A and B are shown apart, each in its own frame.
Chain A
Amino acid sequence: MEEQLTCKESENIIELVDLTRVFEDGMVAVDKVNLKVKKGEFVTFLGPSGCGKTTTLRMIAGFDKPTSGKILLNGQDISGLPPHKRPVNTVFQRYALFPHLNVADNVAFGLKLKKIKVTYERSDGSRFTKVEKLSKAEIAEKVNKALKIVDLEGFEKRSVSTLSGGQQQRVAIARAIVNEPQILLLDEPLGALDLKMRKDMQLELKEMHKKLGITFIYVTHDQEEALTMSDTIVVMKDGEIQQEGTPLDIYNEPANSFVADFIGDSNIFSGTMTGKLKVRFLNKTFECVDDFAKNEKVDVVVRPEDVFLMDEGKGQVDGKIVSSIFKGVHYEMVCKIGKTEVVVQDTKERKVGDKVSIYIRPEDIHIMAKEFTANKYEGYITKKNTVVFGDGEFACDVTQLYPGSFLDEEGYLITAEGEKIDLTDVDVEVEVGLKDIDLNDVDTLEEEGGAVGNIVSIIYKGDHYQVIVRTDENEEDYVCDTEYTWNENDRVSVSIKPEAIRLKLKEEVKR
């Protein structure tokens, strides 16, 4: 039994345990990442810029030291090992070829440094081991082989500065794989190439991965690239893993609305479960295959290619086409149903203004637990009977803390029993609904309270946007549903109506 366990363990070539990296300025780039990578796998870290994917890769390569956590290679912790002692090689984003060396010398760089143990037999039969460098012939042979793999035979003597981007990329790959690393790390290696070249290289890299049989860890922000090449995709955001799975899993069963929005095109709707395998959105109840509790608020994801357009009255819900764009293989059309927009991809065009009906198959409706149903904060009451939370001060109704209470002229709270309570500095739990938060341009901010922050995320959910505003001071997040269009990085002020702030006492106040 135990043997089986260790055997299973050793299948994982690399294992990240609670890996965390905090930069000097306090930014948490990677936050307690746990991941197991199987031997021979093609794993892709996918996420927007700043999600921590490159930092994770750099920690595996050894260029960045983890703040805490472990990196296990074949079960052994290598987080303290300097990069030159790790059996991994990296293909850099901008290739990082050595400009003063020609193609062959670039590829041979690692081999020339390599020392191997050779065992000789003396004439009397005893053996001894010597540490030797590779001979020139051996190096030349390996270099030739590597250049053959990347299709660059005959380029040995060329200066790297005379090569095109694609050719330089191939040299960089050859330079890494010639050392026969256990893991090949690729940091957005195709980012600098043009579209067509990138597509060719994607397939070639995949082919190479099959041929070489070594583990590839690939970093990209291009979801299509990730879907095309990987065995496993790890979607990251804000230094945390959002979802891990095969390309098919990630595409068909996104774990949350971020993943659904990031991977492929998608319609995301807010819905409610109305019964077993029944979900209501677009003002209509649909059959679905995901089982959630009745009355639970959920996010519904439907891919544009899974929405079928029919003539009016023949589908499940009727709507009107409001835009249609030819995209080469298909038309991308927007169908307006009530207030909600549904993106549809179809090879058959419907004209703008056409009345249509949509049909969605139950298995194409993917339901996810709603990430945010309300904003929750910890705060405290001030002298003025306002409440401070989330880097801001808000007017609120404190009488809700004690049913039947009211405020006297001096600002003390008189309970229903006639007791006088000073609420200053009382800790409270604050809850604010997503729809109760109003966003305003900062310059229109009135001086009375509120919080100020930057928009860090916008996800379109059919008839509204879900916007996350993050404050500067303590990085508090306000999640709000709004019909207005904002841009990422917009600076906004947050205001909340006093009656929409729900307060709860954290503990009984000393009287």
Chain B
Amino acid sequence: MMKKVLAYGFLTLVLLCVYAPIFILIIFSFTDANIVGQWHGFSLELYKRLFTVERLRNMIVNTVVLALLAAAVSTVLGTLGALGMFYSKKIWKKVLGGASNINVINAEIVIAVSLALVFSMFAFNKTYYSLLIGHVAFCTPFVVLSVIPKLKQMDPSLYEAALDLGATPRKALFRVVLPEILPGIVAGFMLALTLSLDDYIITSFTKPAEFDTISTYVYNAVKNTAKSELPAFRALAAVIFLIIVIVVVILNVRAGKKNKNETFMKKEIK
């Protein structure tokens, strides 16, 4: 009995530590006080500001568009890279895989500084291109990492079967290999998207001066408290949290349904 109480008590404590700050932020997003902790009565003012103040709106749109672009480009590059790597000879496979993985382990600040250096030496310094290229360079290895396992899981004779049935190598790739590794590609895209969305270091080193994503904007806003939009971020945090909760719930429900369906079908056969 005592054990149970302790176990549940510990669990509650951990969950509280993780979620309490977020819930406090959400609660105080429904009041228009400038300082967290003061309650000036219920109001949706902060939510209104989030969608009406042009600078805030631009910054949100910028972040999302950049993330979508970077994720799309790195998904294409990463998938091609993974395919190339997987079907190369053993030595190349190892060398390329290692080269790709170094970027994953490497400190982000190193990537950021080296990228900034290269851009300032050659071209695109502190333009939208340098920002996009920076994000793509940073995200692509993660896409490779999530596609490779799917290729390894795939039955190698699937590709041969497609060739055998009259598909050219290209058609075999598009009709058999890609559908087979699609879950890995989608996971890679989502990973790239989230990595790009909340990236600060690379963004701040490569972005144009007047351009802001959420992370760089928040950082600057915290530094110069004079900016009045800061409280609006409480609303933004609440919205982002809500979106994530909805996505996670939907994914879980769908996964549960699929499992049920499959076990049901199998039973039917027996």
Using a CB–CB cutoff of 8 Å, the interface residues on chain A facing chain B are 61-63, 82-84, 88-90, 92-94, 96-100, 109-110, 113-114, 159, 161-164, 175-176, 179
Residue B162 at the chain A interface, CB threshold 8 Å: yes
Q: A109-B162, A109-B167 are in contact. List 20 more A-B contacts (CB 8 A).
A: A63-B160, A63-B164, A83-B160, A84-B168, A90-B164, A92-B160, A93-B157, A94-B157, A96-B155, A96-B158, A98-B162, A98-B176, A98-B180, A100-B182, A113-B167, A161-B262, A162-B262, A175-B165, A176-B165, A179-B166
A sample of 28 cross-chain residue pairs with beta-carbon separation below 8 angstroms, ordered by A number, consists of A61-B164, A63-B160, A63-B163, A82-B163, A82-B169, A84-B163, A84-B164, A84-B168, A90-B160, A90-B161, A92-B157, A92-B160, A92-B161, A94-B155, A98-B158, A98-B161, A99-B180, A109-B167, A109-B175, A110-B166, A113-B165, A113-B166, A162-B265, A162-B266, A175-B165, A176-B165, A179-B165, A179-B166
Tell me how far the C-beta of B78 lies from the nearest C-beta in chain A, rounded to whole angstroms: 21
**Secondary structure of the B side of the interface?**
helix
In Å, the complex CA distance between A82 and B159 comes to 13
A96 near B166: Cβ-Cβ < 8 Å: no
Given contacts A92-B157, A96-B155, contact A113 B171 (CB under 8 A): yes
Given contacts A100-B179, A100-B180, contact A109 B158 (CB under 8 A): no
B167: which A residues are within 8 A, CB to CB? 84, 109, 113
Residue B269 at the chain A interface, CB threshold 8 Å: yes
B262 near A96: Cβ-Cβ < 8 Å: no
A-B contact count (CB 8 A): 72
Q: Which of B165, B182, B266, B269 contacts A109 (CB 8 A)?
A: B165
Chain B, range 141-175, C-beta contacts under 8 Å to A: 155, 157-158, 160-169, 171-172, 175
Q: Which of B160, B164, B179, B269 contacts A162 (CB 8 A)?
A: B269
Tell me how far the C-beta of B270 lies from the nearest C-beta in chain A, rounded to whole angstroms: 9
A96 near B160: Cβ-Cβ < 8 Å: yes
Q: Closest A residue to B178 by CB, please name it.
A: A100
Tell me how far the C-beta of A108 lies from the nearest C-beta in chain B, rounded to whole angstroms: 10
Tell me how far the C-beta of B100 lies from the nearest C-beta in chain A, rounded to whole angstroms: 25
Q: Closest B residue to A167 by CB, please name it.
A: B269
Tell me how far the C-beta of B171 lies from the nearest C-beta in chain A, rounded to whole angstroms: 7
B161: which A residues are within 8 A, CB to CB? 90, 92, 96-98
**9 A-B pairs closest in CB distance:** A110-B165, A96-B157, A96-B161, A83-B163, A100-B179, A113-B166, A162-B265, A92-B157, A90-B164
Q: Closest B residue to A158 by CB, please name it.
A: B265
Given contacts A92-B157, A99-B180, contact A83 B262 (CB under 8 A): no
In Å, the complex CA distance between A92 and B168 comes to 19
B157 near A89: Cβ-Cβ < 8 Å: no
Given contacts A94-B155, A98-B158, A100-B180, contact A89 B265 (CB under 8 A): no
